[in-house]
Amino acid sequence: MAQHVRAALTPEIHPVDLHQSEGATLHQAPIDLHGLLITSPRSTFLLRVSGQSMRDAGILHGDLLIIDRAIEPRAGHVVVALLNGGFTVKYLRQHQGSWQLEAAHPDYPTLRLDHFDDVQIWGIATHSIHTADAIVRS
C-alpha cells in the first residue's frame, strides 16, 4: 500500500505525492494558500500568539492565527477578544445564560464577560499556523 506525503518543493508551493513503491511518479499541482485559508480578505488579519492558554487546542506560543472579523461569533468559536483594553484568545462559551471565555489549558481560569467593563469580540480564529517541532523558532 502506498503512503502519501505532501511536501513543498519550490517557493510556489507545489504539493508532491510520494509513493513507497518502485516506479512511483511525482505529481505536482500548485496550491493557493490565500484561497484555501482566507475567505474574506478585507476582514482578515494575522495575529501572533503569546502565551500558552490555548495549548490544548493546538494553538501554541508563537503561532500565527488567521482571524476573520466578518464571521459572526458563536459559542464554541475560538475568538480574539479585547477585555478592558487587553487582547486574549479563548473559546467563546455560554454557560447558564452567561457568556464566558474559556482557555484550553487547565492552569488558566474561565473569564466571565459580565465581569469586564469593556468587552469586544474582534474576530474568529479560522486557522493556526505553527512551525514544525523540528524547526527552531526564532
Residues labelled catalytic: 53, 90
Grid cell 484555501 in the structure block, residue: 36
* Torsion 80-71-48-42 (CA) sign: negative
Q: What letter does residue 6 receive in the DSSP assignment? A: -
C-alpha cell at 16: 508532491
Buried b (16+ CB within 10 A) or exposed e, 32-61: eeeeeebeeeeebeebebeeebbbebebee
